Amino acid sequence: MDKSALKLKYNALLLRYKKAEAFMGNDSIPAVDKLKYVDTLNGITHKLGSMLNEIENYSEGEALCGFKSIQEVLITNFDVLVKKYEDKEGA
């Protein structure tokens, strides 16, 4: 699998992990119900680690928050360019 596809899959799994983490941290959910999903959460954590090993080069921010897709990078850069152009035109 190429790195771009792997990063997209990582992002999807990271989102699932964050939802599971929120579930586990919810004090209104009984511990008995949480216990049912401990193995699932551990499996997700293990898979995320394996995926990072495959990706090899990543920052702490990418590991914790996910990878930007090329589309996100292009949109961000486009927005910056538009802002600079608007500032220049307004001056």
The pTM (predicted TM-score) of the whole model is: 0.75
Q: What is the pLDDT of residue 13?
A: 96
pLDDT at 84 over 70: yes
Whole-number Å distance between alpha carbons of 22 and 31: 13
Q: What is the pLDDT of residue 91?
A: 60
pLDDT tens readout for residues 13-46: 999 999 999 999 999 999 999 999 999 999 999 9
Whole-number Å distance between alpha carbons of 4 and 38: 29
Structure tokens at 45: 């954590």
Whole-number Å distance between alpha carbons of 41 and 58: 22
Q: What is the pLDDT of residue 64?
A: 95
Whole-number Å distance between alpha carbons of 69 and 59: 15
Q: How large is the average pLDDT for residues 49-68?
A: 95
